[in-house]
Structure 1
Amino acid sequence: MKEMIFKDGKIQKGYRVKIPKAIVDTLNLKEGQEVIINFNLETNKLTLDIKDEKK
């Protein structure tokens, strides 16, 4: 599990979540890869649970 802290971000409501390109590149994510996003209100941390792609 990877942990990322977002500062000064804005919330967008909808069915899709946009992840900044810098984070996608850093975590080496691929289009269509399953990502579960959790937000902890107590610590104000956003946690990404990234599923490995099946090869």
Structure 2
Amino acid sequence: MPLQYGMSLEQTAQAIGLSKGWTCRLRNQFIAGGAIGDKGKSVRGGRHREHFPPA
């Protein structure tokens, strides 16, 4: 949006509904060539060695 419409970082953050910090992170990730929202395999969470009931 900043390149296409000449918006500042603050204006872009307000338009997409995120904070200025998150907007900056997403912009930097985009510039670096990383896919937005693709964090790969999560290393946290999940049910490790959890017994599931038969139902």
Bigger strand share = 1
> How does the TM-score come out when normalised to structure 1?
0.28
Higher RCO by CA contacts (8 Å cutoff, separation 6 or greater): 1
Larger Rg: 2
* Greater fraction helix: 2
